[in-house]
Structure formats: C-alpha cells, structure tokens
A and B are shown apart, each in its own frame.
Chain A
Amino acid sequence: MNCCSQKPIMEMPSGERLCKSHFTEYFESKVFNTIRKFDLVGKEENLGVALSGGKDSLSVLNILNKLSKQNPKIKINAIAIDEGIAGYRDKTLEKAREFCDKNRIKLHIFSYKEEFGLDLDEMLKILKVKPCTICGIFRRYLLNKKSKELKLTKLATGHNLDDECQSILMNQMRNDIAASARLGPKTGIMQNENLFVPRIKPLYLCTEKEVTAYAFINGLLDSFNECPNAPQAFRANVRDMLNELEQKNPGTKYSIVNSFLQTLPLLKEKFKGGIINICLKCSEPAANDVCNACVYLEKLKGKVEVR
C-alpha cells in the first residue's frame, strides 16, 4: 500500500510503501523515538558525534543537529579520528569537513600521527597484528580521552540495527556473552563515570538499508569507499547470513535485536561489577594495570621514537 500519491521509494517490512518525504519523516521520527525510548539524550547536553564521514555517522549528525536546533541546550560537536589510512580516511574526512562547514558544526580532528607519533600504516609495518584490532584499540582510546577533554556529556556513534544484530550473533557464536552485556543503545556507563563518556546509538533500530536510503535522499551518501584493512571474514559471513535470512523473512534483524533487548537487563546484571582499573601510565580506563593502548605503544617504542 502506498503512503500517498507520490512515487514510493522504500518498502517497509510491513509492506507499506513510502515516498521520499514520508520516508524521511518516518526515519527521523524513528530516531527521535529511539532517543526517547532509551533516554539517550537529556534536556541539557554537550553531545559529541563520532564522525567518520560515512553515511551512518553523517546521518546521526544530521539528525542530532536538527534536535540541537530545536533545543539550544543541546550542543553538538563532531569528533573525527584520522588513523592515517592512505587513500581512505583522507576521502571520508573531506566529506566530514564539507558537512560540518556547511552546517556550522565544530569538528575536532585527532590523528594517530599527532597523538602517538605514528599513523596506522606505519604501526602496521612494525606490529604483526590484525589491523582492525590495533586500530580499534587506539580509536576507542582517543575517542574516550578526547571526549573527556572536550567535556562531552555523551558520545553518539553511527551504529545501526545491522551492526548490533551482527555483534549479538558473533558473540553467541564465540560463546562470549560478557561482550553482549556491553552492547545496547547506551553503553560505557560504569561505576566511575569520570572514566568513561557514555556512548549512545541513535540509529539502533534503523536498518543499514534505511540509513543508506536516508543518506542518499539527504545528499549524505558519497561514492562507495572501503577501508583497505576492512575484510573481517567472520563479521562478513554473519552479515551475509543475516541478509539472506532478512530477504527470505523480512523483519528478522529487528526481531533478533528486539528479543536481545529483553534479555539485556539480565546480562548487564550478571556481568556488572567487573573491576575497571586506571592505567598506571596514562590514567585512562584499563582492564589490567596498563591499558591496551599503552601496551601497544610500548611495543612500538622499542622500534621507533613514539609520543
């Protein structure tokens, strides 16, 4: 059934077919409802948006910027991390800069090179580790540290329903339920709030296809640009399997995430109380005496002059 006399551009799992303007209205309402349902944004916030320049983070920033315009007590900042991946991050950062300039949003860019003395490409020549492992450790480290320095009250990310669904299944398949306890629309809230800036996922209930359509309609979708280090065989397998199931049984991803949400409070209760240390070297949160970022920096230090 079509929503109106305008040409439909998206079909919902329910079978309803929405035109461009009704789809935009539906998508933005869904994000605002997610924010309300999970209490992601308070009445007064200094919000950060982790911006890669890709469709997901630009869509989050676009919508939170609209929220900020409606409520001046909600401030918006964008944070981008330049890992130094030649031919990839420079392109996405250009899109991030262009969007922030156009919308007068303050963009803070922090690079591995300036913060650690080496960019990712240089680190990978020295350390024999999977690129995504080390990149993730340093990116999360910088995002948390810089969010605290900027006095951000929360950090929004572009994680969508597909990302969450993949993580839930991957954790099940690895028998790592403790990792699932750290999922959800709002994360990073531990015993010591001064250590972690809470993370929020406003696109939590939006499929990747919906986000892409929204980004396309709103001019936020750039040409396809893939990180040269991207292939993560396991996640790609789970993603393909989920997409096949979704094709045969529309609404599968939504059902997986919704049923997970019913068990999440139990998981959080079961796995609460893990002791979080303060890194002896940098005072950032750490699972052990020294955080993972400092462990890798120490390994790099032996090879070249860093930090």
Chain B
Amino acid sequence: MAKIHVNAFIDRESKNTKLELDDNSQVIDLLKKLNINPVTVIVSRNNELILEDERLNNNDEIRILSVISGG
C-alpha cells in the first residue's frame, strides 16, 4: 500500500514528529498512532480546525493542540 508522510506538531510537548501513514489515512489514524485520545485535543491544518475523519495528504503540516488547561 502507498504511504504518506505527515509532520505533526504536538503543542503540549512542544515537539515535532514525522510519521509515515497508509495512504487514505485520516486524522483519527494519526492520533491512534500517537496514542492520543481525540477528546483531549483539537487538530488543525493550515490554521483551520479539521475533524477526525478528515483525509490526510502527503507532507501535511498538522498541529495537535491540547484542550487540557495548563494550571
């Protein structure tokens, strides 16, 4: 199966991660791979929020923003 590469920034850890996913992968697949509960984050691409069933594209820059308060 063809693969895509996605760059994910996880704001809570202030960390960039490069991931290889199957073609046709969705946001939910990315979160599963990172072991992140979707209830605890919102996800954006190009500064727009995207839903869990949004298809990811090769070379997407994704931001994963924690909904949990910091203090």
Q: Which A residues fall within an 8 A CB radius of B?
A: 7-11, 17, 20, 52, 54-56, 88, 208-209, 211-213, 216-217, 221, 223-227, 229-230, 239, 243-244, 246-247
Contacts and interface: CB of A to CB of B under 8 A. Distances in A.
A226 to B, nearest CB: 4
A243 B51 contact: no
A206 to B, nearest CB: 11
Contacts, number: 66
Interface bin, chain B: 20 to 34
A209 B42 contact: yes
Contacts of A10: 49, 51
A229 B71 contact: yes
Contacts of A227: 70-71
A209 B67 CA distance: 5
Contact of A55 (B37, B52, B69): B69
Given A212-B65, A227-B70, A20 B39 contact: no
22 contacts: A8-B51, A11-B51, A17-B51, A20-B49, A54-B69, A88-B71, A209-B40, A209-B42, A212-B67, A213-B42, A216-B44, A216-B49, A217-B49, A221-B65, A223-B11, A223-B14, A224-B14, A226-B12, A226-B71, A227-B71, A246-B39, A247-B38
A155 B70 CA distance: 22
Interface of B: 11-12, 14, 37-40, 42, 44, 48-52, 65-71
Choose among B12, B14, B51, B69 the residue with the greatest number of A CB atoms under 10 Å from its CB.
B69
A191 B69 CA distance: 33
Contacts of B40: 209, 243
A97 B71 CA distance: 19
Contacts of B69: 54-56, 208
B13 to A, nearest CB: 9
Interchain residue pairs A-B with the least CB separation, the first 3? A227-B71, A226-B70, A9-B49
Nearest to B13: A224
A247 to B, nearest CB: 5
Nearest to B67: A212
B17 to A, nearest CB: 15
A221 B40 CA distance: 15
B37 A208 contact: no
Contacts of B65: 212, 216, 221, 224
Contacts of A17: 51
Given A212-B42, A212-B65, A225 B51 contact: no
Contacts of A54: 69-71
Given A56-B69, A244-B37, 15 more contacts: A7-B48, A8-B51, A17-B51, A52-B71, A54-B70, A208-B67, A208-B68, A209-B40, A209-B67, A212-B65, A216-B65, A225-B70, A226-B12, A226-B70, A227-B70
